[in-house]
Copies of this chain bind each other. A is one copy, B any other.
Amino acid sequence: MPREITAYSNPLVKRVVRLRDKRHRREEGLFLAEGLRILTEAREAGRLPAYVFFAADTAGHPLVRILIDAVESAGGEAIETTRDILHKLSGKDNPQAVVGVFEALATPLDAIDRSSAGIWIVAQSLRDPGNLGTILRTGDAVGAGGLILLDDSVDPFSVEAVRASMGALFTQKLAQAGWEEFVPWLRAGPGQLVGTSLRATHDYQQPRYQAPTFILVGNEAQGLPADYEAECDLLVKMPMLGKADSLNAAVATAVMAYEVLNQRRNAGA
């Protein structure tokens, strides 16, 4: 049976509101995801929130019902609440009717089975949470195994990153590692490291990519450091016909990832 919370002063409400801060997410190992669509994707991917808050007037929705039952069966807690409190939790004027509190799970590099997918995305010092979420969403679309975040990338569990991922945070593996940890792991098994770089001499459609392909994208403003580029098996670039010399990081990742996918589709692989 869901319990009811209607007071702002409720300690759980206060605790959940604090999860909008990175520091509290770190301390608690929890994060927020909003919206029935994203929570349903999480459930279908086998991920259930520890707590699910829902607006009383949505309790009759079949997918909300299924979600509540699943959370309670798994030992989590379902909490019926007001639109005002949902607004407070989500920080949005027009809050979603359902908000979940999930365990922030990252996969250690050693636990990643690289042969489970032909594409992996590796991002270095990514700064923008929207880009991070969009890259996860693209990874899901191209059948990537997951996203490996290198160095001091933005928190993948921020509300904005989770929202931009449109649920892909729950379907893609997510690892966080330093470069000095990533390279030995990469080289201990099969895998082609492909960097996109302004300094590349290969057009990105020229090479035949080998699976598993690790697509390496650099920081939005600086691109990849020179020694990271030197480690790449291939450096490639997209044609740039205009005045600008680079693409948005999430766009470059997607254009690259679809090229790898298209090569495999067209080879009948």
Contact = CB atoms under 8 A, between A and B. Distances in A.
Interface of A: 41, 44-45, 130, 134, 137-143, 164, 166-168, 171, 205, 238-244, 246-248, 250-251, 254-255, 258, 261-262, 265-266
A248 B134 contact: yes
Interface centre among A44, A242, A246, A262 (most CB of B within 10 A): A242
A249 to B, nearest CB: 10
Nearest to A241: B143
Contacts of A242: 139-143, 168, 171
B205 A243 contact: no
Contacts of A241: 140-143, 261
Contact of A244 (B168, B244, B254): B168
A143 to B, nearest CB: 3
Contacts of A250: 134, 248, 250-251
B44 A247 contact: no
Nearest to A242: B140
Contacts of A255: 254-255, 258
Count this chain's copies in the assembly. Answer: 2
B247 A141 contact: yes
Interface centre among A138, A251, A261 (most CB of B within 10 A): A251
Nearest to A130: B130
Contacts of A258: 238, 255, 258
Nearest to A253: B251
A141 B240 contact: yes
A132 to B, nearest CB: 12
A185 to B, nearest CB: 24
A258 B252 CA distance: 10
A248 to B, nearest CB: 5
16 contacts: A41-B244, A134-B251, A137-B244, A137-B247, A137-B251, A140-B242, A140-B243, A141-B238, A141-B240, A141-B241, A141-B244, A168-B242, A171-B244, A247-B254, A248-B250, A254-B254
Given A239-B265, A251-B138, A254-B251, A244 B166 contact: yes
Given A251-B250, A251-B254, A265-B239, A244 B164 contact: no
A12 B103 CA distance: 50
Interface centre among A138, A139, A164 (most CB of B within 10 A): A138
Across the A-B interface, the 7 shortest Cβ-Cβ residue pairs? A140-B242, A143-B241, A251-B254, A134-B248, A171-B243, A140-B244, A141-B240
